[in-house]
Structure 1
Amino acid sequence: MSDQVTDAGFKDRTRVDEARDALREAVAGIDRTESVPLTAADGRVVAERITAERSVPHYRRAAMDGYAVRAADTFGASDRSPSVLRADDAVGPERAARVHTGSELPEGADAVVMVEQVEAVGDDLEVFDAVAEGENVAPVGEDVEQGDVLYEPGHRLRPSDLGLLKSVGVDEVETYDRPSVGVIPTGEELVQYDPDLGEVIETNGLTVSRYVERWGGRAEYRNVVTDDRDALRAAVQRDLTKDIVVTTGGSSVGERDLIPDVVDDLGEVFVHGVALKPGHPVALGVVEETPVLMLPGYPVACIVNAVQFLRPAMKWTENAAVPPHPTTEARLDRKIASEPGTRTFARVTLESRDGERVAIPTRASGSGILSSVAQADGWVVIPDDREGVAEGETVAVQDWEWSA
């Protein structure tokens, strides 16, 4: 690692995509699985192929309110020359039975005449519309047939998926275990409450641990570890039982930025310094096959790197794809400057003006201004090969805060 940095700072910075590719190589998918009740399976990742245990519908059912009939008995029916059928509880030659949407189709029936096309005259029914065999009837398996493959391993279950699974007779699913993440805040200046002069309230560990939970993992939010090599070494080693270890703070190249050297002594740091803003002093490594992500101490830089590296690492660990962030197109209110070769994440708020969505860059853009990201509606990602974005340009605002 020592050839990547100098006393004055970073010698070079790895491109974001290259850093993420390197991290992908260090992340192994877990093989731990558990059987989860359907009611608790929302957001879980399927570990085994799921097939339909029964057809939906599992019986022929009426698709409309009306009368179940034999289609042949309605041939030629019209407004001027209706077919006349007998109202009955059963269906047979020239006999019809009342049905409601979703009810079982009576034996002998092969179609349903909509109630609007039928007029009762005493015990008889005048049918004013001819129907074809199968019309207004949902056959067995119209939605799903028994044995159909519904989901393959790696699919993340959604509420609509749970409804479908319940309909086909599935009441529990085999899913991958949730990724476990040790979150270790570091820094001798950090306290949890009531800071004195020179002390700072610890927020990064709390924030990151809550993102871990939102992104489907199980976070172990540790106590603050001071800037001491032995203490940092012990903290990292303690959490090597986790799927991922995350530290916050102390990831740059200053005298008190010890964690990259500690991790490199225990294993390997393969990225130190990434071409993104805010938050280039991030480090990525591995110790005993456990990925270690060393996030910067400035709050906004910490969040940006957590979204860019921790979120995908958790998805890979869970054997799932990394879903894209939802975006909103908007017109940029004023220009955003950026450095070519660096991927910039510019915080913006959104508002409507004359029916148009407008993205307004936040005035406070420093990586230590936590309120600037907490009060933003998203960020605009300026690609590495661009030198800023002009005022009035249409941009995609990433709503990273609400993506799972």
Structure 2
Amino acid sequence: MSDALIDIEPGLAGLAPAVGEQVRGLREALHERILGTVRTAMRAQGRSLTGGQGQGLTLGVQTAVDAFVDALADPGRDLTATRAVFHALGRTEYREGHRVDALRTVLTLGARDIWAFLVAHSPGTAPPDLYVIAGALFGYADALAGAAAEGFLDEQRDAAQDWATTRRRLITLLVQPEPPGDAALHAAADAARWALPRTVAVLSVDGADAEHLARTIGGGAIATVVDDAVRVVLPDPGAPGRLDRARQALAGRRAALGPTVELARARLSYRISRRALALRQTGRLPVDAPVTADAHLLTLLLAWEPGLADHLADAWLAPLAGLRPAGRRALAETLHSWLRRQGQVVAVAEELHTHPQTVRYRMRQLRTAFGAALDDPDSRLTLQLALRHHLATGRPDGDNPPAR
């Protein structure tokens, strides 16, 4: 908004001082008239002038009328204070949940009513002067509406920043190493206006559009960026349609869904989803959107501590270390299938697309290499895990085709 009425309507420079003084004399009548118009407009919006915002608007309208009639007599008068009043009213409009254009509607109706009143009560005013007053009046109303809109948007922006901060604080509490105390958790949830659910699941998503993603998923989801990825806390994932909506919102995105857990164990779902996303990015998990961690728990278990599964494979598959890569892989595949198929040679042969006699030959080699470990339940389980990791990662002969 301009700092003076003459900036809005330069024609005021030629307005006779007597015209401005004449309008000043109508001040009280204008107050009464404009308040009636505003009251009617507010009622049409289902609002009242009796509450705090109504009283503020009443004062603002009176201030606007006073500033306008004084500025007609003194067009260079500073209007900064009036602008500040309507900027503040715009902020209040947002806080009370009204539309950004609600005040503009009131101001436009008020300006029309003032214009009609001035025309009716200024019989001696020349038409050119009335045109100048009209330009000043409607430009002034538009400028005040602009100030109110700026205030509305400023409050909206500040609220969004506050909202993001409170929700980030809440999510940080939920996924921190130590579970938060009940008092701290309830206080953070109240500040974020989030009803604490019984269960949650955490989504990890590539990107930084946390607020947009939470709104798209809906269902009370909250989100923030942690460690360069969006973390979405999905309340009560078992609610009808909730996971389906989340999957639809994540179509085409790199994302991982952690398991559904009780609220106090939200960190576990967060850690699993974070690890699943990392494995998806390296190709260890499929490109589903999102990949569901519960469907890949064994892969996650083996990859949980970097280097541990490598050490497991190196230690337990050491009897194969002296073989050529192709032969080593053929024996590893055979043993892995044999363990999974509980020693059924024909089933192993079908899986590997080879002859049963070849399987028997390889198993004799493997019996020589691993001995009694093939008959011990714990050793068989450990071998199966070691082989699964070895074959999935291609260590160290992943580029060599398997021998048949």
Q: Shorter chain as normaliser: what TM range?
A: under 0.3
Greater share of residues in strand: 1
Q: Which has the higher contact order (CA 8 A, sep 6+)?
A: 1
User: What TM-score does the superposition give when structure 1 sets the normalisation length?
Assistant: 0.22
User: What TM-score does the superposition give when structure 2 sets the normalisation length?
Assistant: 0.22
Instruction: Mark the structure with the bigger radius of gyration.
Output: 2
